[in-house]
């Protein structure tokens, strides 16, 4: 179907919902469960959505009305008050030998400003993609119940990143670690997992590996930066004080190499660019919308040093970078 408006990369997909990738993943996962119901298994059901292009199929594309979705409180691009790499990632010229790929990369990093109506249509479609995935997860849980596996299966629901969806005037994703991008949901259900318990502690996606092994009664084959979440889930015993997020971007992305490391505690978040020493620090209790950069603020000198020490505590075990393939 043609776009309903000129909202960025937003369509109501003409593909029948039965052929959509979210349905396909749900179907294949249920098929796997049926074929392995008498065996131990670990299933990673990876749904590509929600992701641009925003193209939820009918009827999911119309499930959420644009007039009823929540909008970000701060929808203006404010690069002048941000560290230099914010502007570089949006306006820099990618360094690539292939001119066609360079133009594609440059175009993809320059998302146009969205009017309120455009943003509402985009977000409503995005919510439709999420709702379709929720439906598939419901199908998986019903399949586990029907197969007699529900009470002995650990279910973990999470994702790799969010989308700005207009927050700070941005769309999609990139090297700006705002909460909408970095802080993702993590839901768990299964034997020993309390119901309706909410845990505010910072954790990492890396922790899932050790968590799976813990519940399965085994250990990881090699040392990794992973800590089981089982003590935190079952007894509220903290497993870590902070979580790290790293992103090394090459000049092929935005014209300059970036080495970004973000540390997140319950109340503070610091991002440092390793090559230049520039950074941004937000007090999430006082400033949940991340509007005031406290990096270098004398009032936050002690806290900034504590966060920098957390980044420095990372084990020095980075493996040599592999040769670049493609344009990532």
- Predicted confidence (pLDDT) per residue in 168-186, tens digit: 999 999 999 999 999 999 9
290: left (phi over 0), alpha (psi -120 to 50) or beta: left
Structure-token match 């977000």, residue found = 123
Name the pLDDT band for 222 (thresholds 50, 70, 90). confident
Which residue reads 């800590």 in tokens?
A: 227
Residue 132: exposed, middle, or buried by beta-carbon count in 10 A (0-12, 13-18, 19+)?
Answer: buried
In terms of pLDDT, which residue wins out, 6 or 126? 126
Ordered domains of the chain (ranges, CATH) = 1-75+112-194 (3.40.720.10), 203-240 (no CATH), 242-313 (3.30.1120.10)
Query: 129-168, pLDDT tens digit by residue?
Result: 999 999 999 999 999 999 999 999 999 999 999 999 999 9
Question: Which residues lie below 8 Å from residue 27, measured CB to CB, with a gap of 6+?
Answer: none
Task: Give residue 326's pLDDT.
Answer: 64
Give tens-digit pLDDT for 20-60: 999 999 999 999 999 999 999 999 999 999 999 999 999 99
**Residue 327: predicted pLDDT:** 60
- Tell me the H-state helices in the chain: 21-35, 84-91, 99-108, 116-146, 179-182, 207-216, 230-235, 251-254, 301-312
């Amino acid at each position: 179907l043609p776009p309903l408006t000129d909202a960025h990369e937003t369509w109501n997909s003409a593909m029948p919902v039965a052929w959509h990738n979210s349905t396909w993943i749900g179907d294949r996962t249920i098929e796997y469960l049926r074929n392995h119901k008498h065996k131990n298994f670990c299933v990673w059901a990876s749904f590509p959505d929600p992701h641009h292009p925003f193209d939820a199929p009918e009827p999911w594309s119309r499930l959420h009305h644009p007039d009823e979705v929540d909008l970000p409180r701060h929808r203006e691009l404010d690069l002048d008050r941000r560290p230099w790499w914010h502007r570089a990632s949006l306006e820099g010229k990618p360094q690539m030998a292939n001119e066609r790929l360079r133009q594609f990369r440059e175009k993809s990093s320059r998302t146009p400003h969205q009017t309120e109506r455009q943003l509402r249509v985009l977000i409503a479609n995005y919510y439709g993609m999420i709702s379709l995935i929720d439906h598939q997860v419901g199908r998986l849980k019903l399949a586990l119940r029907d197969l007699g596996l529900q009470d002995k299966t650990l279910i973990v629901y999470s994702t790799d990143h969010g989308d700005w969806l207009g927050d700070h005037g941005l769309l999609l994703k990139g090297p700006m670690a705002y909460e909408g991008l970095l802080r993702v949901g993590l839901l768990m259900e299964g034997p020993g997992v309390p119901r309706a318990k909410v845990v505010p502690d910072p954790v990492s996606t890396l922790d899932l590996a050790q968590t799976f092994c813990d519940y399965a009664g085994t250990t990881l084959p090699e040392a990794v930066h992973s800590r089981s979440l089982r003590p935190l889930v079952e007894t509220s015993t903290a497993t870590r004080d902070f979580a790290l997020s790293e992103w090394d971007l090459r000049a092929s992305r935005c014209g300059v190499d970036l080495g970004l490391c973000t540390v997140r505690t319950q109340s503070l978040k610091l991002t440092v660019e390793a090559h230049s020493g520039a950074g941004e620090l937000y007090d999430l209790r006082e400033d949940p919308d991340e509007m005031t950069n406290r990096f270098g603020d004398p009032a936050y000198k002690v806290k900034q040093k504590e966060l920098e020490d957390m980044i420095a505590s990372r084990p020095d075990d980075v493996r040599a970078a592999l040769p670049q393939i493609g344009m990532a």
